[in-house]
Amino acid sequence: MSAAPASGPTSTSPEVLAAECLQGSRRAAARLISMLESADGGAARAASRAVARLPLPAQTIGLTGPPGAGKSTLLDYLIGLLRKRNLRVGVIAVDPSSPFTGGALLGDRIRMSQHGPDSGVFIRSMGSRGASGGLAAAASDALRVLGGAGFDAVLLETVGAGQSEIEVVNLADTVCVVQVAGLGDDVQLMKMGILEIADVFVVTKGDRPGAEDLKLQLERAIHEAPGEVCRAIRQLGPGFAASFQGPRWTPEVVLVSALRAQGGDELLAAFERHRAYLATPALAEALRTSRAAREIAWRATRRLGDALNERLAPGGDLAALAADCAAGRLDVESAVARALGGSA
């Protein structure tokens, strides 16, 4: 399991590990991510604070799509292409590891692949158990670890099973949605919001029957819903959209056949075009600021929440509020008001 304790001695502080990480230590990076996922909330929060000063990777690409769309194979193919361009590649594969999904984790499958021994590649699975403050917060911290350790491009992969996975993939600069012909219900999937999260679509197994058709279908859906698309501007909210005079991004659709090594360079070119789009001056600044605001807010909120939980627990200075609520002497909203009043 990904959350297993690091094998070495664990006395090293997260600050020391963060410094080692900046020197390029893979071992320090791995141990920091383990700490971030620790079931010990105090250790996880200390690690989160230590990595806050590490830089984000230069480029993060989110990959999501339904099971069976060929994400593992595509990821393997992309890693190879990025390595040929001399980029150091990080992969964070997010699998919701509930008691009911006991299968092989994606990251483990890739780790066993051809890129496992390559020191320019770092692959890590993250599960959703034990991630204090939410999976997206833990993944965001892990991105800083990989950025700090000098990985140029990070592929952030989810199986796309729920809200928290969508939040994770939205941490990426560019979101790539993987589709494959023949899984059925293509049009229905599009209706359900897939256009809202994609900057680039990949149709995998591009040499198979139906792939070209699916590409055309996706392109038609994109062009019929121009107001719906452009994830970056939508994330910045209606205020920004109204004031922004620059261009809108139109999602691209690329056919890829990983097995035949076809379409990969075209896909990377689409990622580059999206990256150039995000560098549009006013947009780039707004995205950086909005991202910083979100990160400050969730870090501060998590700290306030931890403090409140402690104060409300037995022995804490607000424990009487919980007892009064439990006994029906106080309603929960009045207790909230008193808890907030008392913390001001």
Q: How far is the CB of 313 from a second copy (least distance, A)?
A: 6
Is residue 181 within the footprint of a second copy (CB under 8 A)? no
The region, left, alpha or beta by phi > 0 then psi within -120 to 50, assigned to residue 95 is beta
Residue among 8, 42, 116, 162 that touches a second copy (CB under 8 A): 162
Residue among 39, 52, 259, 269 that touches a second copy (CB under 8 A): 52
Between residues 268 and 339, which has the closer beta carbon with respect to a second copy? 339
Cβ–Cβ < 8 Å for 204, 73: yes
Between residues 227 and 314, which has the closer beta carbon with respect to a second copy? 314
Is residue 23 within the footprint of a second copy (CB under 8 A)? no
Is residue 63 within the footprint of a second copy (CB under 8 A)? no
Is residue 309 within the footprint of a second copy (CB under 8 A)? yes
Residue among 49, 109, 208, 248 that touches a second copy (CB under 8 A): 49
Cβ–Cβ < 8 Å for 142, 126: yes
Residue 321, amino acid: L
Q: How far is the CB of 288 from a second copy (least distance, A)?
A: 4
Residues 92-151 that bind a second copy (CB under 8 A): 96-102, 128-129, 131, 135
Residue among 6, 58, 81, 161 that touches a second copy (CB under 8 A): 161
Residues 227-286 that bind a second copy (CB under 8 A): 239-240, 285
User: Using CA atoms, how far apart are residues 239 and 296, in angstroms rounded to an integer?
Assistant: 21
307's CB contacts (< 8 A; 6+ apart) are: 343
Is residue 325 within the footprint of a second copy (CB under 8 A)? yes
Residue among 164, 170, 262, 280 that touches a second copy (CB under 8 A): 164
Residue 20, amino acid: E
Distances (CA, A) of 2 to 32, 88, 124, 257: 12, 22, 7, 30
Element containing residue 90 per DSSP (H, E): strand 89-95
Q: How far is the CB of 141 from a second copy (least distance, A)?
A: 10
153's CB contacts (< 8 A; 6+ apart) are: 57, 58, 59, 60, 61, 82, 87, 88, 89, 90
Is residue 305 within the footprint of a second copy (CB under 8 A)? yes
